[in-house]
């Protein structure tokens, strides 16, 4: 059985999203304003979504001619883990604070990407986040999310 290419998958997802949003533009909530020569807030987005529908369909069909090619085995695992780890890190920034989340992330990511020199990773994970946090939070006064347990970080 031939598997569909990722181009087709992306095209199809885009098609579905565009179809749903196009349908959504007919929601009564958008009938409130008819200024600008009778063109309300969804006048322009509706044109774009119509274009998106046509182009997504064309890309979906174009993708059917392409071979299925993506990652397999170990590479797929690394990619999915990297994306998941970054997602977790972003979630952790607001949950446990920037500094703690960053120390853990800077330690874990190189390890995940195959760099196993623990003393070097440990040193970088200790120094880099602290420097960056101090520089932005204390010197530049760009207040980064802090942890619920400590006042300062």
Partner 1 sequence: MDALSLGIGHLLTLPVLVSVFAGTVLGVVVGVLPGLGSVVGITMVLPFTFTLGQIPALALMLGIYCGSVYGGSISAIVINTPGTPQAAATALDGYPMARRGEADLAIGWTTAASVIGGLFSVAVLIVAAPQLAAFSLNFTAIEYFALGVFALICIANVSRGAMLKGLLSGVIGLFVATVGVDHVTGDMRFTFDNFEMTAGISLVPAIVGLFALSEVFVRASETHVLKEQSMFRVGFRLPPWSEWKPRLGILFKSCAIGSFVGALPGTGAATAAFISYSEAKRSSPRRDKLGTGEPDGLVAAESANNAVTGSAMVPTLALGIPGDPVTAVMLGTFVVHGLAPGPRLFTEHLDLVYAVFFILIAVNLLMFVVGAVGAQAFTRVLRVPEPILMACVVVISLIGAYGVRGNPIDLIIAFVFGVVGFLFRKNGFPLAPMVIGMVLSEMIENSLRQGLLITRGDFLAFFERPIALALFVLTAAILLWPPIRWALDRRTKADTKKMDWTSE
Contacts with partner 1 by CB under 8 A lie at 5-7, 10-11, 14, 21, 24, 29-30, 32-33, 35-45, 48-49, 51-52, 55-56, 58-59, 62, 70-71, 75, 78-79, 82-83, 86-87, 89-90, 93-94, 102, 105-106, 109-115, 117, 120-121, 124, 128-129, 132, 136, 140-145
Nearer to partner 1 (CB atom), residue 16 or residue 79? 79
Select 113 or 152, whichever has its Cβ closest to partner 1: 113
Complex with partner 1: residue 87 or 152, whichever CB lies closer: 87
- In the complex, the smallest distance separating the C-beta of residue 1 from partner 1, rounded to whole angstroms, is 21
Rounded Cα–Cα distance for residues 153 and 143 (Å): 10
Residue closer to partner 1 (CB basis): 19 or 55:
55
Minimum CB distance to partner 1, residue 2 (Å): 17
- Is residue 60 a contact partner of residue 53, using CB atoms and an 8 Å limit? no
Report, in Å, the least distance between residue 26 CB and partner 1.
Answer: 13
For residues 145 and 94, is the Cβ–Cβ distance under 8 A?
yes
Phi, psi of 2 (to 5 degrees): -85, 130
Location of structure tokens 């959504």: 24
CB of 23 to partner 1, least distance (A): 12
Task: State the Cα–Cα distance between residues 118 and 134, nearest whole angstrom.
Answer: 24
**Token pair of 25 as six digits:** 């533009």
Distance CA 153, CA 151 (A): 6
Rounded CA gap, 107 and 103, in Å? Answer: 6
């Amino acid at each position: 059985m031939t598997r569909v290419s990722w181009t087709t998958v992306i095209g199809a997802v885009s098609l579905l999203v565009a179809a749903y949003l196009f349908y959504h533009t007919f929601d009564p909530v958008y009938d409130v304003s008819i200024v600008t020569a009778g063109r309300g807030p969804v006048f322009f987005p509706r044109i774009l979504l119509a274009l998106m529908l046509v182009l997504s369909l064309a890309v979906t069909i174009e993708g059917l001619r392409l071979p299925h090619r993506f990652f397999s085995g170990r590479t797929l695992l690394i990619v999915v883990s990297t994306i998941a780890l970054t997602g977790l890190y972003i979630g952790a920034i607001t949950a446990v604070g920037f500094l703690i989340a960053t120390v853990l992330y800077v330690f874990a990511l190189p390890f995940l990407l195959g760099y196993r020199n623990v003393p070097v990773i440990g040193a970088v994970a200790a120094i880099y986040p602290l420097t960056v946090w101090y520089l932005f939070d204390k010197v530049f006064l760009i207040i980064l999310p802090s942890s619920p347990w400590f006042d300062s970080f």
